[in-house]
Amino acid sequence: MAEVTVTKANFESEVLNSDKPVLVDFWATWCGPCQMLSPLIKEIAEEHPEIKVCKINVDEEMELATQFNVMSIPFVAVFKDGKVTNSSVGYQPKENLLSLVD
């Protein structure tokens, strides 16, 4: 499954109301570590259909970034039943990202 681009308009339906865990990547085009993380996020989306993978561009969706206190990127948050259950800041190996979901 491909990553879903999330905006303020579809955040509730895509993330908060999802029936499976959602891994959300807060990123920006100018962020080097975000670019390094991007292929791993894509792999997780393709290899783990049990996880919904979403991307939020912090420059375009500042309100969402502020709502979740995103101070540094890449910031990855895991949502279950509409709540953040885990998060990490900075580049992480794929295993670490997957362990956030468990």
Q: Is 54 a catalytic residue?
A: no
Per DSSP, the three-state class of 61 is: coil
CA distance 18 to 11: 10
Q: Is 31 tagged catalytic? A: yes
Q: Is the peptide bond before 74 cis (omega within 30 degrees of 0)?
A: yes
23, 34, 41, 44: the active-site residue? 34
Which residues share a beta bridge with 84? 79
Q: Which of 28, 31, 84, 100 is catalytic?
A: 31
Residue 84: both structure tokens together = 């953040």
Element (H, E) at 69: none
As annotated, the active-site residues are 31, 34
